[in-house]
Amino acid sequence: SARCGGYRHSVIMIMSAGHYDHIVIGAGISGSSSAYQMAKRGAKVLLLEKVKMPNILYKSEEMEDTKFLNKIINSFDETLGSVYEGQDFHVKFAYLNMGASITGYFDPSGGVLTAYNTLRAVQNLALQHGAQIVDGFNVEDIASLPNLVQVFGNGGEMYTAKSVVLCPGPWAGNLLEKVGVRLPLQPTKVPIYDWKARYFLPNTPDKNPVIDTVPGKKNVVIAVGFSGIGFKLGPMTGTMVADLAMGIKPRQEVEQLSMRRFNKKSNL
């Protein structure tokens, strides 16, 4: 057998499938938002997704969805609303059983964005700015070199870039171990009320995500452990990740979102 950049293979020769400024692994909302933000800044970006994504992307009839979401991303204007606390909440929303010490904010201009269509629109925004998306790609190894990262997968393909971003969702453990990171993540099954299914959330002990560079590997960025709040944080996550991956900020500045807070419990 032979070894190339940390990737063992016995028969298949490793050939580069392309070089990019940045590679993002995981096309959920965090990964797609990160790819969009970096492509918007003029970087050559590749977004890799393990699952095949049929019947999404590239369709002109979806442009209205993209325009609509673009307005949301770029105009978070304040809106008039009302705050209801305790008994006032229960009087106003008598059909909700949420406990005695609840506080709610009612936004009369609010609405509902379906997760699937929102994700598709963000991915289309990334494509419009020149990003490339490859689905059905199973990442098998990642090598971090001083000025280069190599991503291996699908039994012999390799992509290279200046940096790699890992946004793997609830099953992050195996992928993080490939870059020498262990975090106290616990996938937790929860009900999702608009589906007849249950979903696994990647919980951290303090319920805050990790958005940071890996110590000793400045060209590896991770965004994991969102504990159920990842979708609403998509635009913010994409901006933070882009700053880290593009070297604008060397490490996460917000302590509650950094890897540092787990130093005593993690083997980094």
pLDDT band with cut points at 50, 70 and 90 for residue 231: confident
| Tokens of residue 130, six digits | 């020149």
pLDDT band with cut points at 50, 70 and 90 for residue 58: very low
The packing angle between helices 63-74 and 115-128, to 10°, is 90
Q: What angle do CA 139, 140, 141 make, to 5 degrees?
A: 100
| Tokens of residue 160, six digits | 């290279």
* pLDDT for position 155: 82
Average pLDDT in the 232-246 region? 95
Q: Which of 49, 51, 7 is nearest to 25 (CA)?
A: 49
pLDDT band with cut points at 50, 70 and 90 for residue 73: low
Average pLDDT in the 72-101 region? 72
pLDDT digits 0-9 by tens, 168-226: 887 788 899 999 998 888 777 665 544 445 556 778 888 899 999 999 999 999 999 98
Beta bridge partners of 106: 82
Whether residue 66 is predicted with pLDDT greater than 70 in this model: the reply is: no
* pLDDT for position 61: 43
Separation in Å, CA 161 to CA 19, 27, 40, 152:
5, 17, 17, 12
Query: Mean pLDDT over all residues of the chain?
Result: 81
Ranges 22-31, 129-138, 170-179: which has the least confidence: 170-179
| Residues above pLDDT 70, as percent of the chain | 78
* pLDDT for position 67: 62
The DSSP line for 160-182 is EEEEEEE--GGG-HHHHHTTT--
pLDDT digits 0-9 by tens, 89-128: 888 878 777 777 778 777 777 777 788 888 999 999 999 9
* pLDDT for position 9: 41
* pLDDT for position 3: 39
| Tokens of residue 1, six digits | 């057998």
Judged by phi (left if over 0) then psi (alpha if -120 to 50, else beta), residue 91 lies in alpha
Token pair 């990642």 in the structure block, residue: 142
Ranges 168-172, 236-240, 251-255: which has the least confidence: 168-172
* pLDDT for position 136: 93
pLDDT band with cut points at 50, 70 and 90 for residue 4: very low
Per DSSP, 14 falls in state P
pLDDT digits 0-9 by tens, 257-267: 999 988 754 44
Q: E strand or H helix at 133, and its extent?
A: strand 132-135
